[in-house]
Amino acid sequence: MWNDRKVLDLLGIEHPIIQAPMAGATNAQVVAAVSNAGGLGSLGAAGVAPAKLRETVAEIRGGTERGFNVNLFAAHTEEFDRDARPAPRLAAKLAEYHDEFDLGDVPVPGPMFGPFDEQLEVLAEEKVPVISFHFGTDAAAVEKAHLAGAKVLCSATTVAEAKTLEQAGVDVVIAQGSEAGGHRGTFTIDYEKALVGTMALVPQVVDAVKVPVIAAGGIMDVRGIVACLALGTSAVQMGTAFLGCPEMSVLAAWRESLLRARAEDTTVTKALSGRPARGIRNRYIEEVEALDETLLPYPAQYSVSRDLRKSGAERDDPDFMSMWAGQGVQLIRSMPVAELMQDLVNESQALIGRLANR
């Protein structure tokens, strides 16, 4: 059915479709459903405590006998100045929000993700078949995953990053174009220099590394899948396309925002977390960006808004949520995971057939 089987055979999947991990939006049900449909289901586990992570891996295995992926953020992202505090205008704005919603004192910066070493140990002990990393990785982490029998994926946003990952021993490079929703995987240069579109990035990465390449960023339907396969990738990773599925852990206000959003409604911003990430603009992003002030480093910037975001979630208020979405958001479809996967597979094969007969 598929001519290029490098990723299919390596990861033990039927179709070249990887559901992006999307920390906070994915869950065991979604992961199992994608894998049962022949793709690779992925869990975004960066913010999942080790004990809970072990339980979630067991829950995934209870829903599928097929392979799946668990994603972690690189260990270096957990390091930040614990004494850092918001600059004056940000501090005043956060206090204003807390007064508006009666939230008490603004929390001080604190850890939000990891601990990486403990999370990776759980994945190794549980023999998770595929482990992926974001914000780079190193040879030691890759080796630990390999010793546990896992295949390793990692995101790159430039050709240089792809080469660095290949040297670190990853099995597959994910070429993340600038259209992608969520955090940019950039780990070597300023993110502004790494905002390369998927169609430009993918063929350059394919030519630069010997390992298989997965395309990510703005891929919403069969046209994107077939185009990326034509550019030389062995599979695609799709995130925003799955956010319309009812099984996803997406709050009602976020879902409604996704369904009415257009490409120009998304933006790459540091306002939410301190690292560049693409999401749907809202009041919080616009007002924090307007402060024109140096923000806290990641994840401190993210952590000082944690009570505010929790309140926003409880009130289903999109103005204070992290509503990650890629530039292909206007093509989102609302349907169960199994139906979406079936449509993507059938329509891809039909399109490939039509193109072959032209």
User: Which tens digits make up the pLDDT trace of 1-24?
Assistant: 799 999 999 999 999 999 999 999
pLDDT (0 to 100) of residue 199:
97
Q: Is the dihedral of CA 128, 131, 324, 344 positive or negative?
A: negative
Task: State pTM to two decimals.
Answer: 0.96
Of the pLDDT bands very low, low, confident and very high (cuts 50, 70, 90), residue 358 is: confident
Could you read off the pLDDT of 137-178 as tens digits, one per residue?
999 999 999 999 999 999 999 999 999 999 999 999 999 999
Alpha-helix residue ranges (DSSP H) falling in the chain: 6-11, 28-36, 50-63, 88-100, 116-125, 139-147, 159-168, 198-208, 222-230, 252-260, 283-289, 300-303, 306-315, 337-356
Per-residue pLDDT, 1: 78
310-346 pLDDT tens trace:
999 999 999 999 999 999 999 999 999 999 999 999 9
Report pLDDT for 82: 86
Contact assessment for residue 199 and residue 309, using Cβ atoms and an 8 Å cutoff: no
Q: What's the pLDDT at 261?
A: 98
Q: What is the pLDDT of residues 69-119, one digit of tens each?
A: 999 999 999 988 888 999 999 999 999 999 999 999 999 998 889 899 999
- For 230-277, the pLDDT digits (tens) are 999 999 999 999 999 999 999 999 999 999 999 999 999 999 999 999
pLDDT in tens, 108-127: 998 889 899 999 999 999 99
Run of H or E including 277:
strand 277-280
Domain residue extents for the chain: 6-81+112-261+325-356
Long-range pairs of 82-86 with CB within 8 A, sequence gap ≥ 24 = 82/109, 82/110, 84/109, 84/296, 84/297, 84/300, 85/109, 85/296, 86/296, 86/304
User: Which CATH number among 3.50.90.10, 3.20.20.70, 3.40.50.720, 3.30.1540.20 corresponds to the domain 6-81+112-261+325-356?
Assistant: 3.20.20.70
217 touches 18 (CB < 8 A):
no
The answer to whether the beta carbons of residues 55 and 78 sit under 8 Å apart is no
Rounded to whole angstroms, how far apart are CA atoms 30 and 43? 8
